[in-house]
């Protein structure tokens, strides 16, 4: 069984510690995110390490022969670590063009330029590397994807044999995380986010955006019907909302109620606000393709807190490590691993 080089991890942390973010010619958006990673550097690197280590153990190839692709890379901590660890080909991808441009600057500054940077969706990745990916990874990405079932389907169809390892902090089983994300859902749905700093993401209430869209495109409907349809289409993009309303006009049947009480997405781009999903939902995305799933659990950041809190987090992390699937109720983040049976 292959193991990652601990000395390489220490070397990578030291390299990032020397990085002056303000000297980099990158967007303010990614400067903010990169600084957040550096504030909790050991933790961020350990999460990336955990994701890569899980995948490596399931691949019967030497590390220098493995092609790893990071999805929704952002500042690219996983890709940078993978490059430093000696993975054969490291492919970074993100749908946000500015992140792709910024990542290239960050990678060059660290001397860790990957094999390829792909700006686009999983379809774009498939055009360049169909059936040529051994390991597909991400951190805090799958909970934002508009159609996760389609995403997993495309991953399976286009990268046969690849191990899929996706971390998400949207842990529906941790009552504190669940409560926190439900609150964020409600804020985005009814009040909007005036502090939104990523270009292209909406600051308005998602409900208001849907209602304005229906008011503009279907003024013949009564005000009360438009309000009901705006509420009931929570979690849908404008194109799907249009289909639902057009179908209602023909059949007078309302679309089904959203399955989750608070999950919501930006109707202009489909970006979910940390969608909370159960193990069973994730497993259903791959089960029909004869893929098996395993669950792993991320630790808390025990590296930068004050002594008493650090002791508590160390204890929690030991419980997470040795409590099997019960760890889902404690862990701050869950990791789904999918591979062909």
Name the pTM for this structure.
Answer: 0.95
Give me the residue spans of the domains in the chain.
6-172+277-340, 175-251
Q: How far is CA 35 from the centre of its chain?
A: 19
Element of type H or E holding 90 = strand 89-94
pLDDT attached to residue 298? 98
In tens digits, the chain (341 residues) has pLDDT values of: 678 989 999 999 999 999 999 999 999 999 999 999 999 999 999 999 999 999 999 999 999 999 999 999 999 999 999 999 999 999 999 999 999 999 999 999 999 999 999 999 999 999 999 999 999 999 999 999 999 999 999 999 999 999 999 999 999 999 999 999 999 999 999 999 877 767 778 889 999 999 999 999 999 999 999 999 999 999 999 999 999 999 999 999 999 999 999 999 999 999 999 999 999 999 999 988 789 999 999 999 998 877 889 999 999 999 999 999 899 999 999 999 999 98
Length of the chain, please? 341
Concatenated DSSP letters for 198-248? Answer: STTS--S-HHHHHHHHHHHH-TTS-HHHHHHHHHHTTT--HHHHHHHHHHH
Token reading at 163: 């191990």
Closest CA to 300 of 143, 164, 176, 141: 176
pLDDT attached to residue 195? 77
pLDDT attached to residue 16? 97
pLDDT attached to residue 305? 74
- Give the Cα separation of 174 and 163 in Å (integer): 26
Residue 340 and residue 185 in contact, taking contact as beta carbons nearer than 8 Å:
no
pLDDT attached to residue 97? 96
Token reading at 193: 């986010």
Residue 227 and residue 211 in contact, taking contact as beta carbons nearer than 8 Å:
yes
pLDDT attached to residue 1? 65
Which ranges in the chain belong to alpha helices (H)?
A: 6-17, 28-39, 41-57, 77-85, 97-110, 122-129, 148-158, 175-190, 206-217, 223-232, 238-251, 279-287, 307-322
- Burial letters 165-187, b for 16+ CB under 10 A, else e: bbbbbbbbbbeebeeebbeebee
- Burial letters 238-265, b for 16+ CB under 10 A, else e: bebbbebbeebeeeeeebeeeebebbbb
- Give the Cα separation of 84 and 93 in Å (integer): 17
6-172+277-340 maps to which CATH number? 3.40.50.150
Q: Spell out the residues 6+ positions from residue 10 whose beta carbon is closer than 8 angstroms to its own.
A: none
């Amino acid at each position: 069984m292959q193991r990652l080089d601990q000395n390489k991890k220490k070397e990578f942390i030291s390299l990032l510690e020397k990085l002056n973010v303000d000297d980099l010619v990158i967007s303010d958006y990614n400067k903010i995110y990169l600084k957040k990673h550096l504030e909790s550097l050991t933790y961020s690197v350990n999460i990336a390490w955990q994701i890569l280590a899980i995948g490596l153990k399931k691949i019967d190839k030497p590390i220098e022969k493995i092609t790893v692709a990071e999805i929704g890379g952002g500042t690219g901590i996983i890709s940078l670590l993978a490059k430093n660890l000696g993975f054969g080909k490291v492919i970074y991808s993100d749908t946000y063009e500015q992140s792709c441009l910024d990542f290239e600057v960050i990678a060059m500054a660290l001397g860790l330029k990957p094999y390829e940077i792909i700006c686009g969706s999983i379809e774009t990745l498939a055009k360049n590397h169909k059936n040529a990916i051994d390991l597909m990874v991400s951190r805090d990405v799958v909970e934002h994807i508009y159609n996760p079932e389609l995403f997993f389907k495309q991953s399976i169809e286009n990268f046969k044999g690849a191990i899929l390892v996706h971390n998400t902090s949207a842990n529906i089983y941790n009552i504190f995380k669940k409560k926190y994300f439900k609150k964020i859902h409600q804020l985005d749905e009814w009040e909007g986010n005036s502090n939104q700093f990523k270009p292209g993401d909406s600051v308005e209430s998602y409900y208001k955006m849907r209602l304005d869209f229906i008011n503009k495109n279907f003024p013949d409907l009564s005000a009360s019907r438009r309000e009901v349809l705006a509420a009931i289409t929570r979690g849908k993009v404008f194109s799907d909302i249009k289909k639902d309303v057009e179908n209602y006009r023909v059949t007078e049947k309302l679309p089904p109620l959203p399955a989750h009480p608070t999950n919501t997405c930006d109707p202009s781009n489909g970006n979910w606000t940390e969608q909370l999903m159960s193990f069973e939902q994730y497993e259903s995305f791959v089960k029909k393709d004869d893929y098996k799933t395993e669950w792993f659990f991320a630790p808390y950041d025990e590296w930068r807190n004050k002594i008493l809190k650090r002791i508590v987090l160390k204890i929690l992390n030991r419980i997470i490590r040795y409590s099997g699937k019960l760890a889902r109720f404690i862990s701050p983040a869950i990791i789904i691993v999918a591979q062909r049976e």
